Copies of this chain bind each other. A is one copy, B any other.
Amino acid sequence: MTPEDERWTESCSSPVFVHNPHLEEMKDDILYHFGLGTGTHNLPAMFGDVKFVCVGGSPWRMKSFTEYIAAELRMEDPKSEYPNICAGTDRYAMYKVGPVLSVSHGMGIPSIAIMLHELIKLLHHAHCTDVTIVRIGTSGGIGLQPGTVVVTKQSMDATFLPKFEQVILGKTVVRNTDLDPSLAEELLQCSKKLNQFETVIGNTMCTLDFYEGQARLDGAFCSYTEKDKQDYLNKASEAGVCNIEMESSVFAAMCKLSGLRAAVVCVTLLDRLNGDQLNNSQDVLHTYQQRPQILVGYYIKEQLKKMSRS
């Protein structure tokens, strides 16, 4: 046990784990894609109080979430523009309001994986404890009314198996994609209290491609029929898949490895059984995209109330 491990044990709080003996030997750690580092930034001072991390694909959406949560928590600063903490790079955007960190991750497993490696190291270097992390995203639904919010039970691959395959030194390692079931249930209860939109708990399929990988008929290439597509999506539905996106599997796997309490909350922008193109108006799509923010914002507010009482 290192002195640091002992400190965490004594305080009964849950740290953010890295599993890399080499990190201890490094003088500095450059978090390149954040434009941050242990040698250039005081990470404990900047991030030590973080208790909630919300991540999503679009940088605009993560800035808008920050503005929303600041207002909800009555922490808004009318003079402040909520500066992008990662302003030195254009790979990701990061914002912070009180104990809530908001980070964009781009699209797809590789993009979110780079962000999570550096985020987990950041939270570790900053000595954060008891952190809850939620991905608030968009997805295609299967058999759900567009605008329904799905809280992920299990993240599944394109063959409907709950696993994530990580290639290490050219060999495939299979990782578990379990998410925190109690957190999912708490989020569902929050949605019931809010009573503004439909929320369900279900499985989420995570693919490496948006067009052929999700059986869309509208990509540059398509070698299958409408019937092939419907058969595939129906099989997914039989395996409990409620929605399809592109980041949940590696998110679940990496959060589990690092001891972060994690959830995936995605709104469905369309019902894939009825089409492939996102042809709703921008206004409607924008309203849908706010729903995961509203749900997670409500959850965070409730949690902070509980913490202040205890």
Whether the pair B107, A257 counts as a contact (CB closer than 8 A) is no
Report whether B111 and A219 are in contact in the complex, using a CB–CB cutoff of 8 Å. no
Chain B residues with CB under 8 A of A11: none
Q: Are A212 and B170 in contact (CB under 8 A)?
A: no
* A59, CB-defined interface residue at 8 Å: yes
Q: State which of A112-120, A193-201, A293-301, A302-310 sits at the interface with chain B.
A: A112-120
**Given A32-B277, A170-B159: A91 and B114 interface contact (C-beta under 8 Å):** no
Question: Is A58 within 8 A of B20, CB to CB?
Answer: no
Q: A206-246: contact bitstring with B at CB < 8 Å (1 yes, 0 no)?
A: 01111111010111111110101100100100000000001
CB neighbours of A168 from chain B (8 A): 212-213, 215, 223-224
A254 at the interface (CB under 8 A from B): yes
Contact assessment for A217 and B20 in the assembled complex, using a CB-CB cutoff below 8 Å: yes
On whether the beta carbons of A167 and B208 are closer than 8 Å, the reply is yes
Distance in Å from the Cβ of A218 to the closest Cβ of chain B? 7
Nearest opposing residue in chain B for A235, CB measure = B170
* A124 part of interface (Cβ distance < 8 Å): yes
